[in-house]
């Protein structure tokens, strides 16, 4: 048991040294918000994040004018993709796995901001949105 633990610790340390790609559970909303805010040089604003998430936009795909098109306005409930596939709730209070995987967060911000806004979200926008979502 003790030996296994030591071996696991060693493997973990080697993985970090080798710069292995980010794995699930490698971060937290707080950490991500701090990173994006530092990158943007702004203070995150949950109010701005909420307005952006709840708002209706042009510039993206006509069938997805808002983040709420898929995630709905009730972030504690499940959403739905355009194809009808369920999306787990976005609120960490009901879905604690949210915003703990940096690769997942990056992937979906990229994809969803392009769909809704027709461009990637800025670091400031990502900090704002996460500041709001993580408070739910």
- Positions that interact with ligand HEC (CB under 6 A): 53, 64, 67, 69-71, 81-82, 87-88, 98-99, 101, 104-105, 108-109, 112-113, 115-116, 129
Nearer to ligand HEC, 76 or 82 (CB): 82
Task: For ligand HEC, give the closer residue by CB, 6 or 61.
Answer: 61
Minimal distance in Å, beta carbon 15 to ligand HEC? 21
Please, what is the minimum distance in Å from the beta carbon of residue 19 to ligand HEC? Answer: 21
- The CA distance from 29 to 81, in Å, is 23
Q: Which of 7/59 has CB closer to ligand HEC? A: 59
The two three-digit tokens of residue 57, written as one number: 């936009």
CA–CA gap between residue 97 and residue 91 (Å, rounded): 10
- What is the distance between the alpha carbons of residues 94 and 115, in angstroms, rounded to a whole number? 26
Q: C-beta of 56: minimal distance to ligand HEC in Å?
A: 11
- Shortest Cβ 4–ligand HEC spacing (Å): 31
Nearer to ligand HEC by Cβ, of 37 and 69: the residue is: 69
45: phi then psi, degrees, rounded to nearest 5: -130, 115
Q: What angle do CA 93, 80, 96 make, to 5 degrees?
A: 20
HSE value, Cβ hemisphere, 13 Å, CA-based, for 87: 19
């Amino acid at each position: 048991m003790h030996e296994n633990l030591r071996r696991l610790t060693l493997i973990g340390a080697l993985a970090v040294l080798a710069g292995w790609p980010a794995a699930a559970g490698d971060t937290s909303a707080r950490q991500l918000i701090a990173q994006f805010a530092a990158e943007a040089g702004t203070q995150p604003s949950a109010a701005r994040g909420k307005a952006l998430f709840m708002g209706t936009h042009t510039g993206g795909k006509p069938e997805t004018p808002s983040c709420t098109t898929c995630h709905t306005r009730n972030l504690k409930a499940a959403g739905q993709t355009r194809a009808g596939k369920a999306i787990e709730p976005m609120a960490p209070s009901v879905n604690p796995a949210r915003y703990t995987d940096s690769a997942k967060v990056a992937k979906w911000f990229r994809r969803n901001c392009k769909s809704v806004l027709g461009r990637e979200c800025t670091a400031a926008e990502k900090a704002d949105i996460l500041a709001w979502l993580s408070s739910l």
